[in-house]
Amino acid sequence: MATTHHVQAEPLTEAAFAPFGQVIARGDMVMELRGEEVFHLNVLHYDRKPLRCDHLNRHHRATQALVALAGKPTLLVVAPPEFDFSSPDHLPHVRAFICDGTSGVNLALGTWHWGPYPLADYVDLVNVQGKNFDTDNEVAYLERDLGVVIEAML
Verdict on whether the full-model pTM lies above 0.75: yes
108 by DSSP, 3-state: which? coil
Q: How confident is the model at residue 1 (pLDDT cuts 50, 70, 90)?
A: confident
Instruction: Look at residues 31, 48, 33, 9 and name the one whose alpha carbon lies nearest to residue 133.
Output: 33
Contact 16, 97 (CB under 8 A): yes
Q: pLDDT tens digit string along 97-120?
A: 999 999 999 999 999 999 999 999
Average pLDDT over residues 19-36: 90
- Percent of the chain surpassing pLDDT 70: 100
Q: How confident is the model at residue 29 (pLDDT cuts 50, 70, 90)?
A: confident
Q: pLDDT tens digit string along 110-148?
A: 999 999 999 999 999 999 999 999 999 999 999 999 999
